[in-house]
Amino acid sequence: MLPLPGLSPVGAKKIIAQFDGGLLSSDAGVLVLREVEQRLRVAERMAACIVDPRAPEQITHTLADIICFRLLMIAGGYEDGNDANSLRVDPVFKMAHDLSPSDRHLCSQSTISRLENLPDARALLRMGRAMIDLYCESFTQVPKRITLDIDDMFDAVHGGQQLRLFNAHYDEYGFQPIVVFDGAGRFVTAVLRPARRPGGKEIRALLRRLLRTIRSHWPKTEILLRGDSHYCTPETIDFCRANGLDFIFGVAPTSTLRAHILALEAKATAMFEAAPKNGKVRRFKEFFDGAQSWSRVERIVARVEAGADGPDTRFVVTNLTTRNARRLYEDVYCRRGQAENHIKSWKTHLAADRTSCMKASANQLRLFLHAGAY
């Protein structure tokens, strides 16, 4: 092809523009992701959980191929399924599927949409177990102890999706999926649910499935369950004790709990007012108490902090036997905040809140797809 004539030189050097570059792509990093996928086989694991109703002799794109394409799209920053219509001809995405740039095109957006609406509840349960299997197999050796951070996130919706619910705190409709990461930032599982605080029976059912799968890999591994006050329910505490799990949860303040620390609050406030330039005063206290709905009293650790805005007190409940209350709160409980950062990264960089399908099952699959990309 002839060069484009008439371009002015720059710095006494000619500029030559030609149109013989061939098939180009700006997504070469997808080839690196391909190597990761070939090692982890995320798409293959997820596809094995779904029954394909199509006639085998008429299949062009296998379920594993479709899921792999979708995972690579999400990881590459293309969370919108409509992007498949342009990326299906991209030479790098084709090479990531062991195709040459001149081979057949990849699947279209409509094919991806049909996949998202294909799994039923049983398939999604199998997929959830497969994701936990993937988590367990990411370790080179059986760990002696793991920490599971359980939390939830708000996912705003703007349509008539199944399970959507109005949340007064956020003042809009949405979902509130429960998400579990481990202490090192590995994704474990996620469950789509309405935008309300999870109940004890709901949490217990999730933990039962989660623990069953983990124990099938690691029968003797010690597990610490860590969460905020949303997960401090009688059912959760009793489940942890019955199944040999360590736990540490935030506890919402009550008048009964506050009665234990009123004197300490007054003392900390007086210490701060006596020397405000020294900064906030932080003190700790531990005692045994419990809500009326609990089956027994539990160890409570109170953190009292006095500053210019007055006293601020937080409570946690635990069955850990660590004697130092400060270390228990600051070095064990407060590290659960890192799970919130993992959730933010998952939402910000991989658009995990792109749950715009009408069916709840399709949106649950999307959570798994974004988890696989993570």
Residue with tokens 């029968």: 219
HSE, CB side, 13 Å, CA atoms: give it for residue 155.
31
pLDDT value for 1: 52
Question: Is the separation of the CB atoms in 112 and 66 below 8 Å?
Answer: yes
Write down all domains in the chain, each with its CATH number in brackets. 30-116 (no CATH), 121-360 (3.90.350.10)
Q: How far apart are CA 288 and CA 167, in angstroms?
A: 34
- Residue 199 per-residue DSSP state: P
Supply the pTM of this predicted model.
Answer: 0.86
> Which tokens go with 114?
């049909």
pLDDT value for 2: 59
pLDDT value for 46: 94
Residue with tokens 């946690």: 316
- Residue 50 per-residue DSSP state: S
Type of residue numbered 21? G
Average confidence (pLDDT) per 10 residues, the chain, 374 residues: 72 80 77 89 93 90 93 89 90 89 91 93 95 93 94 90 91 93 92 92 94 94 93 94 94 90 89 86 90 89 88 91 88 90 89 89 93 90
